[in-house]
Chain A
Amino acid sequence: MKKVYGSIILDTAFRYLIPFILLYGVYVLLHGEYSPGGGFQAGAILGIAFVLDGLVQGKKAILRITGETAVIIAGIGTFLYCFVGILSMLSGGNFLEYSLLPIPMNDVEKHVWGILGIETGVCICVMFTIIAIFYALVGKEE
């Protein structure tokens, strides 16, 4: 985008809004097991923070990443999901069998950490896919 759509009102509102959006996204991810939320929703919220930045600030965006980098990081998120599954295979279990994860904890805690791990993977994948789609669609005018 050549033009920056921001005015002084938009810029100021954006500056106060963005920390809360990012914080809320992380809260939705980490608290997803006890309240409504989880990886998909957190990924959408965090991705929207980046998209807002791109819309308001244009080329000067602080959180700007290129589409290629975003796709690579989304791939890392998908790999993180598979990695948790493979970790449980290393200690003799099935794929994604959390109770056999090689961490020194009791059964239920292993499940909690396994779920958190794959939710983080999903969150990263969704977030950077949204960013990649956005920058692929708007980036052509540069």
Chain B
Amino acid sequence: MSRILASVAIVLMCLLLFSTTNGLPVLFDANSPASTHVTPRYIEKSHEETGSPNFVTAVLADYRGYDTLGETTVIFTAGLATAALLMASKKKSNRMKGGKDK
């Protein structure tokens, strides 16, 4: 039953997504909303303001430095979580084996 509901939900989602394609900007359009609001400022000014000809680096490390700090923290936290999960459980492995049997 739940599988039928799920497939209905997926078909509905498919129809919804396909019907919105018409409103998306045409591919390769230089005047699409994504390329007109803030990007021209980055392309025009970033070399003289940050000294980096690579716009991606300028955006990533300079204009949006806070974002990148957040991302770095997320990555570090994920590494910490992985290490904590697997290395803490290594010491308790005897108890784990006991739990598996019953």
- Interface size (B, Cβ < 8 Å)? 30
B57 partner, pick from A70, A115, A137, A140, beta carbons under 8 A: A115
- Per-position contact with A for B34-53: 1 when CB-CB < 8 Å, else 0? 00000000000000111111
Closest to B86 in A: A136
- Chain B residues within 8 Å of A74, by CB: 75-76, 79-80
- Chain A residues within 8 Å of B48, by CB: 108
Classify the secondary structure of A's interface with B.
helix
CA distance A100 to B98 in the complex (A): 60
Chain B residues with CB under 8 Å of chain A are 48-54, 56-58, 60-62, 65-66, 68-69, 72-73, 75-76, 78-80, 82-83, 85-87, 90
Query: Shortest 7 CB-CB distances between A and B: which pairs?
Result: A129-B79, A108-B51, A96-B65, A33-B52, A136-B86, A115-B61, A112-B51
Chain A residues with CB under 8 Å of chain B are 32-39, 67-68, 70-71, 74-75, 77-78, 81-82, 85, 95-96, 98, 108-109, 111-112, 114-115, 118-119, 121-122, 125-126, 128-129, 132-133, 136-137, 139-140
